[in-house]
Amino acid sequence: MFAPPVQRLVTELGKLPGIGQRTAQRLAFHILGTDPEDANALAAAIREVKEKIRPCEVCFNLADEARCRICQDERRDPAIICVVEGPGDIVPIERTHEFRGRYHVLGGALSPIDGVDPEDLKVAELYRRVSESHPPVREVVIATNPTTTGEATAHHIAAALHERTPDVAVTRLASGLPVGGDLEYADEVTLGRAFAGRREIA
Ligand code: ZN
């Protein structure tokens, strides 16, 4: 229906999450109608993140240097680590201003049905980090999503930490978060309260 370059753009845009065929076409026509500078800035931004962004060597958050900004920040308490599924989950937690520790990004949640096993996540790196940390880690806050896979991941990690590093408190965000929801979409008041009311899990 379209000239091949237009069709290619529609196809690529249609691969983005939440973008159906119709929206992909609308975005493609929007890009076609913008100034060349704007369209080139978009293309360059995509190329730049793919070239420059890599996982932080400590916490696996997104970084443009060996360590991410949070790991580089001396004011952040290294004795408390908040475990999240993806780098996108750090943003809403930071917005609550409830947390001044460090993070650990797992890279997903355990889901044996989908073939996601502990080896596919950064859990071994978490256990090593917690057991080898100086100063010692005091608390690990598990902030995986309140979904079936997020809960399973939280319990798996809590059990492993209790066994390996029994002196470290393991907490989970308090309820109040929408069940089955995504941390990324939680409002900051709810998420802030969930943080303040976190409790130890067995
Ligand atoms: Zn980091």
> pLDDT tens digits for 48-76?
999 999 999 999 999 999 999 999 999 99
> Who wins on pLDDT, 149 or 174?
149
At residue 166 the predicted structure's pLDDT band, cuts being 50, 70 and 90, is very high
Query: Which own/partner contact pairs does 2-8 have at CB distance under 8 Å and 24+ positions apart?
Result: 6/32
Contacts (Cβ under 8 Å, ≥6 apart) of 91: 184
> Who wins on pLDDT, 59 or 176?
59
- Between the CA of 78 and the centroid of ligand 1 the distance, in Å, is 11
Report pLDDT for 64: 96
Contacts (Cβ under 8 Å, ≥6 apart) of 120: 107, 108
Residue in 189, 199, 176, 77 with CA at minimum distance from that of residue 136? 77
At residue 194 the predicted structure's pLDDT band, cuts being 50, 70 and 90, is confident
- Between the CA of 119 and the centroid of ligand 1 the distance, in Å, is 20
Residue in 135, 183, 141, 134 with CA at minimum distance from that of residue 158? 141
The pair phi, psi for residue 123, each rounded to 5°, is -80, -40
At residue 147 the predicted structure's pLDDT band, cuts being 50, 70 and 90, is confident
- Between the CA of 159 and the centroid of ligand 1 the distance, in Å, is 24
Q: 127-136: per-residue pLDDT in tens? A: 999 999 989 9
Please determine, for residue 188, whether its predicted confidence score (pLDDT) is greater than 70.
Answer: yes
Give the mean pLDDT of the chain. Answer: 92
In whole angstroms, give the CA distance from residue 87 to residue 122: 13
The one-character DSSP state at 18 is T
Residue in 171, 169, 165 with CA at minimum distance from that of residue 194? 171
Q: 12-53: per-residue pLDDT in tens? A: 999 999 999 999 999 999 999 999 999 999 999 999 999 999
Provide mean pLDDT across the span 146-164.
Answer: 93
In whole angstroms, give the CA distance from residue 200 to residue 164: 16
- Between the CA of 175 and the centroid of ligand 1 the distance, in Å, is 27
- Between the CA of 85 and the centroid of ligand 1 the distance, in Å, is 14
The pair phi, psi for residue 57, each rounded to 5°, is -70, -15
Q: Domains along the chain?
A: 4-52 (1.10.8.420), 75-172 (3.40.1360.10)
Inter-residue contact 184 to 88 (CB < 8 Å)? yes
Q: 78-103: per-residue pLDDT in tens? A: 999 999 999 999 999 999 898 999 99
- Between the CA of 98 and the centroid of ligand 1 the distance, in Å, is 18
Residue 55: strand pairing partners: 62
DSSP element (H, E) containing 55: strand 54-55
- Between the CA of 122 and the centroid of ligand 1 the distance, in Å, is 13
Exposed/middle/buried for residue 67 (C-beta within 10 Å: 0-12, 13-18, 19+): middle
Provide mean pLDDT across the span 103-116.
Answer: 95
- Between the CA of 66 and the centroid of ligand 1 the distance, in Å, is 8
- Between the CA of 71 and the centroid of ligand 1 the distance, in Å, is 4
At residue 180 the predicted structure's pLDDT band, cuts being 50, 70 and 90, is low
Residues with a beta carbon under 5 angstroms from ion ligand 1: 56, 58-59, 61, 68, 71
The pair phi, psi for residue 30, each rounded to 5°, is -65, -45
